Amino acid sequence: MSEGGKTRLIAWSHEMRAVHTRLREALRVARDAVRESRPAKGATRDLLLFCHGFCAALTGHHEGEDGTLFPAIAAAYPDLRGTLAQLEQDHSMIFHLLAELQDAVDEGAPPEELDLHLEGVSALMENHFRYEERRLLTVLETLELDRDPSDALGPL
């Protein structure tokens, strides 16, 4: 971002780690909400809020990466295009899992079923985050991208 005619340098590796940490925490909160509502039939209002919020946050993060961050990385580091394609494929798979979770929440599925959906999202999300960090953090240390972090990494 420009401030008074000067480009503000953003530590993109730090920003990515911070977003991943917040998303992991949001997932933990959603899973705790599911576990706390165990004997209840269907989802509580709080549980709906946590699941909707988590789904929206994770989707926004991936949309920011796909639309802003990954094209900038591909332009600066063309050799990473295969890695970026794999990460985008992960985003698609996670999106489908989130849609299934959302359907289960909307239908008032019992907590045990919601927990299974969240477990699947958690496993894929964690694998994806670790791979993404392993492959991109070094590159992000030197990436020059004059964009707001919320554009590139989602509005968290």
pLDDT tens digit string along 54-79? 888 999 999 999 999 999 999 999 99
Q: How far apart are CA 47 and CA 114, in angstroms?
A: 10
Q: How far apart are CA 114 and CA 110, in angstroms?
A: 6
Q: pLDDT tens digits for 25-35?
A: 989 988 888 87
Q: How far apart are CA 20 and CA 15, in angstroms?
A: 9
What is the pTM (predicted TM-score) of this model? 0.86
